[in-house]
Structure 1
Amino acid sequence: MSTIHLQRTTTATPEQYVAALTDFGPGRSKLFANSDDAYLKVHRRGVSQADVTEGSGGIWERLHYDWSDPNRIVLTTADSNVWDGASGHIYTFRRQPDGTTDIDVVVVRDGKNLMGRLLGFVLGTIGRRVLEKAFENSVKAIEAQNENVKHPETDLSDLAA
């Protein structure tokens, strides 16, 4: 079993990050590279919980999302072709006095078969950087998305008409 800890400070609020993480619509892969739209299937969604199958590159998992705590979101693996039920992700958010948010992520990967055990080993060693880069890219994409909402581009040609 591999446990990977990731941390990043962002200008996004916890609400903005949770909103992006729980948006299961088309284009999700633009924010989360390991969630290819071809794998995405929402089985059930409530106010603060969802059951979703997602994945990429031949690896999929059905995750139970729980964001009932505004400072924490828990993704628990319910089924997968490589990961066992002890797998999942926990995102913890801490607001900072300067308006930024610290995000701590714990990723647990428990392989349920040979492929899963090999992938878990790789992720726990040399593959950690791949997860770090994916997390960093998702944080940057969410920040950019929120910045565009704050300052939408105005097409001045529309005003001339």
Structure 2
Amino acid sequence: MPTVHFQLATDLAPEAVLSALTDFSDRRPDLYRNIDRSHFRVHGRGPGWADVTEGNVLAWERSRYEWDAASGLVTVKTTESDSWSPGSRWEYRLRPGAVGGTQIDVTVVRNARTLRGKLIALGLPLLGVRVLRSDLQNVLSHAR
């Protein structure tokens, strides 16, 4: 099970980062360029949670998002996917930066379910940090 961990600092306040991570409006595919509109569906949401399908032609997954602003924690757990087994997850830990902004710690755990998932998972140790960090930087730059 490949695991990727990285950190990212941004000048956005923790509240703004949390807002970008949990924006499930119709603008989400514009913020997250790796989400196709045809693969984006909000099944339900409430205070501190959302049940969402996201993805693209390469892979899609239905996930349960849970977040708590006070602790600065956002968890994303796969419940169904064409590539990943349940138990796959993302975790974002947000904390105020020393001189403002936010320090973000990201952990991604992928349990491949299919051959496609196994092939994608092979690249995670090599390219995962660079690609995933760049994707998050792009999201945050458009969240302003």
With the length of structure 1 as denominator, give the TM-score of the two structures: 0.82
1:15: which partner in 2? Answer: 15
Contact persistence 2:52–2:64 (CA under 8 A): yes
Tell me which residue corresponds to 1:51.
Answer: 51
CA contact (8 A) 1:10 1:102 kept: yes
Q: How does 1:50-129 map to 2 (within 5 A)?
A: 50-70=50-70, 71-129=72-130
Residue ranges of structure 2 left out of the alignment (5+ in a row): none
Runs of 4+ in 1 over 4 A off after TM superposition: none
SS in 1 for 2:113: coil
Would you say 1:41 and 2:38 are equivalent positions? no
Identity %: 38
Deviation string for 1:72-117 (max 9, x for gaps)?
1000001000011121110001112411210011011110111111
1:54-88 deviation digits (Å, cap 9, x = unpaired): 10124110010000353110000010000111211
d(CA) in 2 for partners of 1:9 and 1:106?
15
1:5–1:105 CA contact under 8 A, matched in 2: yes
Measure, in 1, the Cα distance between the counterparts of 2:79 and 2:26: 22
Gapped regions of structure 1 (runs ≥ 5):
146-161
1:131 Cα deviation after fit? 1.7
Larger radius of gyration: 1
SS at match of 1:119: helix
Question: What SS class does the counterpart of residue 125 from structure 1 fall into?
Answer: helix
Alpha-carbon distance change, 68 to 132 in structure 1, aligned in 2, over 3 angstroms: closer
SS in 1 for 2:135: helix
TM-score (norm 2): 0.91
Query: Using the alignment, how far apart are the partners of 1:69 and 1:17 within structure 2?
Result: 10
Structure 1 equivalent of residue 131 of structure 2 = 130
- Matched residue type, 1:109: R
Q: Is the 8 A contact 2:14 2:101 kept in 1?
A: no
Q: How far apart, in 1, do the equivalents of 2:18 and 2:98 lie?
A: 20
What RMSD in Å do the two structures reach over aligned CA positions? 1.5
Displacement of 1:21: 1.5
